[in-house]
Amino acid sequence: MAEVVFRNVTKRFVDAKAGGEVTAVDNVSFEIPDHEFVVFVGPSGCGKTTSLRMIAGLERQTSGDILIGGRNVNKVRPADRNIAMVFQDYALYPHMTVRENMSFALQNLKRPRAEIEKKVKEAAALLGIENLLERQPKELSGGQRQRVALGRAIVRDPQVFLFDEPLSNLDAKLRVQMRVELAELHQRLGVTVVYVTHDQVEAMTLGQRIVVMNGGRVMQIDKPEQLYNHPANTFVASFIGAPPMNLIHGRLEQADGGLWFIGGGFRVKLPEQRNEAYSPYINRNVIFGIRPEDISVAGEGARPEHTIRVPLKLVEHLGAELLVYFVTGETTSIARLHPESGISVGVPASLCFDMRKSHLFNPADGQVIAVG
């Protein structure tokens, strides 16, 4: 297998309607080590699919270098890059059987018939589709077609596997099943995988590392738990997590022997061990961030300086949890609570913040105010 490296890669497209150029990927650099499963995630138009297509050679970068396995592939044809790509729509030949679809690339490479048959059988066994080899794509379910597309990639024994939103056409239950199968497949094969999705749940469950993109730029590259617990900016904080992190605008002020966030119709005291990091922002505007699960109903022993009393806007009963929507100034925030919390719309609730897990961001650029 092989590592994938971007060095200051930029991609611009000519926009005829706008009469100029559009930057799809803006000076992006990263390294994907050999055997790693990396997921690119972000909203539509963020540059993730364009990045994948540049790795595949289906798009040519405007500037910068792309390396696969230590080889600069800037001028290498897609067919000569030794990669395999699984598309969103599977891209199976409708007139061919499963066996023929899986063996087609190897036949074009003039591989011996015995080798082709061996590789097809091994891949089919790995994916549990041995009994489907003589069927045509129209006779298969969405999940079965996806496995055939995977098998077609596996038989080529490529350096890198590329996946372009491969689960987006499947129903919710099948997507969960296929996520598990893809993770297990990666463990068995030990391959380098670059996977693109707009679904942050897919990204968090599949990726050993995640590249979060927005506006053609990389917002943060990190392990899933680091992205979730230590977002680098408000974009990552709001994009990763469902429901997303609550972000409330206000001010940082010094009073009563500590630093306080004041905004959204309430005030809470920040952890004393952060005073040094936060002190340059005293009397300045900041954004306070806290995840829904780090909010609880205030019980006995709750610290009053971490507790707010707010009117409830909506309560959603989801069985194992409640999603509680409450008003914070001009915005609505969310708490994820135990289903037996005993609160209801129309009655103000006392909610306690776990301030150890709170964040402050600079509203000027959205970057987190680091606490060391």
The span from the CA of 353 to the CA of 180, in Å, is 34
Single-letter amino acid, residue 336 = R
User: Comparing 4-239 with 246-361, is the CATH topology the same?
Assistant: no
Residue by residue, pLDDT tens for the chain (372 residues) are 589 999 999 999 987 776 788 999 999 999 999 999 999 999 999 999 999 999 999 999 999 999 999 999 999 999 899 999 998 887 889 999 999 999 998 898 889 999 999 999 999 998 889 999 999 999 998 889 988 998 999 998 899 999 999 888 888 888 888 898 889 889 988 899 999 999 999 999 999 999 999 999 999 999 999 999 999 999 999 999 989 999 999 999 999 889 999 999 999 999 999 999 999 999 999 999 999 999 999 987 889 999 999 989 999 999 999 999 999 988 899 999 998 888 888 888 999 999 999 999 999 999 999 886
Q: What is the pLDDT of residue 308?
A: 94
Q: Looking at the DSSP assignment, which residues form a beta bridge with residue 68?
A: 4, 71
Q: What is the pLDDT of residue 280?
A: 95
Angle between helices 98-108 and 142-154 in degrees, nearest 10: 20
Q: What is the pLDDT of residue 1?
A: 58
Q: Calculate Rg over the CA atoms of the chain.
A: 25
For the domain covering 4-239, report its CATH number: 3.40.50.300
Express as a percent the part of the chain with pLDDT over 70: 99
Query: Count of residues for the chain?
Result: 372
Ranges of each domain in the chain: 4-239, 246-361
**Three-class DSSP category at 126:** helix
Single-letter amino acid, residue 55 = I
Residue 123: enclosing H or E segment and its boundaries?
A: helix 113-127
Q: Which two tokens stand for residue 24?
A: 């799809």
Other C-beta atoms closer than 10 Å to the C-beta of 337 total: 21
Q: Is the pTM of this model over 0.85?
A: yes
Q: What is the pLDDT of residue 114?
A: 93
277 in Cβ contact with 372 (< 8 Å): yes
Q: Which residues contact 162 (CB under 8 A, 6 or more apart)?
A: 52, 55, 56, 83, 84, 85, 86, 193, 194, 195, 196
Answer yes or no: CATH 2.40.50.140 is held by domain 246-361: yes
Q: Which residues contact 139 (CB under 8 A, 6 or more apart)?
A: none
Checking DSSP bridges between strand 331-337 and strand 349-353, what pairing results, if any?
A: unpaired
The span from the CA of 341 to the CA of 333, in Å, is 17
